[in-house]
């Protein structure tokens, strides 16, 4: 049996070729589709990415090249069990992470999470880099899962997948970074959460159509060019069940903090992994067209990634910002016009019937 862990059967039943959407079979240490496309399994993780495609950012290109090299030269020869070169981590933090691993200073929190916390959770968490003492697991604004399948697009180290597991969903996380996916598996094992993880490009999902009850994404598609984001939304629609729900966070062009940041770059379109800003009507129209009937709600004010659940971890000044964001978010449920000035928005869509 292919070494993909305890979820072998589920993966083999539901993974498909991300290019042809054909079924996969096991051939040695790889998966192969009827058209002959091959996908390696590295460290027990299916790597379902397409070689030769333009990536959504520099880390995507580096990750793709590295994973192909590792597969070709044999997994056993690669000495970095953490696959650090596939992580989107700055030089100073990367150097500190490598030192922590080399000196076995692993601590209670996974070392990758400790040093990636500001990369995945936002600028509020910068003082916690390297000093994180517990996992910042956010609150998932979805009803109880009752065993439904939940796809986490761009899962990174798995914080939203853990949140989904705690709410009764069966989470499946995908991310382009093998290092992040391996961290997600370690985190779930450490804290006793469920989770199945696959390396994949969210623009080319390796799952059969109509599989998931929920597709979720946070702080991911906001970094894509608008064309790449639309590709990901089409794929989200494809893998959703009829009447399934997508809940996706995006950045608002007219948020107070968003306007300030856009002014700093002279309102030029972002490049590589910069944040892209959308207007509320643009989001509602695009999501409605590509997935189904959509509504937009406020997620946060004063920045991106602000989470009430992490209040205890933050400094007093940052807690005040979270309090203000929460107050404005709650007011926006009674005063809908306030959504137009939120920095972070949630777009909720229902997959239309065929």
pLDDT digits (tens, 9 = 90+) for 88-97: 887 889 999 9
In this prediction the pTM is: 0.93
Q: DSSP of 67-120, one letter per residue?
A: HHHHHHH-GGG---TT-GGGS---HHHHHHHHHHHHTT---SS-HHHHHHHHHH
pLDDT at res. 43: 85
Run of H or E including 325: helix 316-332
Average pLDDT (125-153) is 95
State pLDDT tens for residues 31-71: 999 999 989 888 889 999 887 676 665 555 556 666 666 65
Distance between CA atoms of residues 177 and 201, nearest Å: 9
Strands (DSSP E) found in the chain = 25-27, 30-32, 38-42, 45-48, 149-153, 170-175, 196-200, 212-217, 240-252, 277-278, 294-300, 344-350
Count of H-run helices and E-run strands, the chain: 10, 12
User: Do the Cβ atoms of 135 and 162 come closer than 8 Å?
Assistant: yes
User: Do the Cβ atoms of 291 and 237 come closer than 8 Å?
Assistant: yes
Distance between CA atoms of residues 174 and 310, nearest Å: 24
pLDDT at res. 50: 85
Is the pLDDT at 6 greater than 60? The verdict is no
Is the pLDDT at 76 greater than 60? The verdict is no
Is the pLDDT at 7 greater than 60? The verdict is no
């Amino acid at each position: 049996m292919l070494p993909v862990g305890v979820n072998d059967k589920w993966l083999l039943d539901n993974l498909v070729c991300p290019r042809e959407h054909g079924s996969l079979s096991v051939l040695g240490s790889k998966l192969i589709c009827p058209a002959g496309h091959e996908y390696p399994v590295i460290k027990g993780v299916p790597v379902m990415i397409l070689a030769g495609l333009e990536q959504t950012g520099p880390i995507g290109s580096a990750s793709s090249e590295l994973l192909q090299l590792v597969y070709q030269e044999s997994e056993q020869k690669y000495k970095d069990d953490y696959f650090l070169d596939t992580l989107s981590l700055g030089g100073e933090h990367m150097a500190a992470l490598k030192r922590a691993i080399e000196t076995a200073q692993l601590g209670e929190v996974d070392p990758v999470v400790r040093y990636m916390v500001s990369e995945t959770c936002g600028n509020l968490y910068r003082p916690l880099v390297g000093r994180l003492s517990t996992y910042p697991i956010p609150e998932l604004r979805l009803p109880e899962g009752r065993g439904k399948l939940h796809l986490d697009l761009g899962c990174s180290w798995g914080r939203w997948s853990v949140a989904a597991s705690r709410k009764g969903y069966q989470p499946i996380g995908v991310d382009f970074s093998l290092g992040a996916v391996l961290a997600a598996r370690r985190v779930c094992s450490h804290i006793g959460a469920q989770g199945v993880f696959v390396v994949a490009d969210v623009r080319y999902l390796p799952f059969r159509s109509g599989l998931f009850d929920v597709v979720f994404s946070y702080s991911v598609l906001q970094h894509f060019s608008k064309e790449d984001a639309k590709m990901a939304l089409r794929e989200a629609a494809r893998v959703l069940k009829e009447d399934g729900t997508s809940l996706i966070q995006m950045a608002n062009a007219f948020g107070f903090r968003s306007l300030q940041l856009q002014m700093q770059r002279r309102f030029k379109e972002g490049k590589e992994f910069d944040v892209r800003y959308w207007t509320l009507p643009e989001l509602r129209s695009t999501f409605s067209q590509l997935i189904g009937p959509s509504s937009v709600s406020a997620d946060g004010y004063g920045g991106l990634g602000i989470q009430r659940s992490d209040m205890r971890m933050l400094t007093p000044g940052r807690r005040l910002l979270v309090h203000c964001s929460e107050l404005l978010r709650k007011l926006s449920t009674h005063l809908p016009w306030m959504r137009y000035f939120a920095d972070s928005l949630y777009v909720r869509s229902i997959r239309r019937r065929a």
